Amino acid sequence: MKNTRNTTAKAAIFELIKKSEVALSHAEIQELNQESCDRVTIYRILDRLTAEDVIHKIVTPSGTVKYAACHHTDHKEHHHIHNHVHFNCEVCQLVTCLENVEPTFKLPSNYQVKQVNFTVTGVCPSCALLD
């Protein structure tokens, strides 16, 4: 059974992630949350929100874990689908979910896909304008 306990800190962190246009790292969440709770509590809340399927993890090419809100739901399965591309800007280091870009791939029939994580690295439109 999922833990649906709602704490003030959990609600505040979830709101930060939901309102952000880019994926946020633990450090960014801690800074934006004005350090109202300690880093261990933030890790626990992020784990709980991930387990509840309301946010998802993105691992950047440099190994940083970032978090973004889930937007698409498969109503038959009652869980979110994370089958979209993440864009990691090499200049500003922001990670964006590209919800309307679905990756395609082919695996041999004897493989079962449980999770897909596509991260594309390059220069985002904002940074490209600075060149």
Predicted TM-score (pTM) of this structure: 0.74
Residue 1 lies in a domain: no
Please report how many Cα atoms fall inside a 13 Å half-sphere around the Cα of residue 81, on the Cβ side. 14
Q: What's the domain count of the chain?
A: 1
- Of the candidates 67, 62, 81, 75, which has an alpha carbon nearest to the alpha carbon of residue 29? 67
Say which amino acid occupies 55. Answer: I
Kindly state whether residue 98 falls inside one of the protein's structural domains: yes
In a domain? residue 121: yes
Q: How far is CA 124 from CA 14, 17, 18, 22, 116, in A?
A: 25, 20, 21, 12, 22
- pLDDT of 37-89, one tens digit each? 888 999 999 999 999 989 999 888 888 999 999 875 444 454 445 667 889 99
3 inside domain? no
Position 30 in a domain: yes
Residue range of the domain that includes 49: 8-129
Check if the beta carbon of residue 8 is closer than 8 Å to that of residue 16: no
The CATH code of the domain that includes 44 is: 1.10.10.10
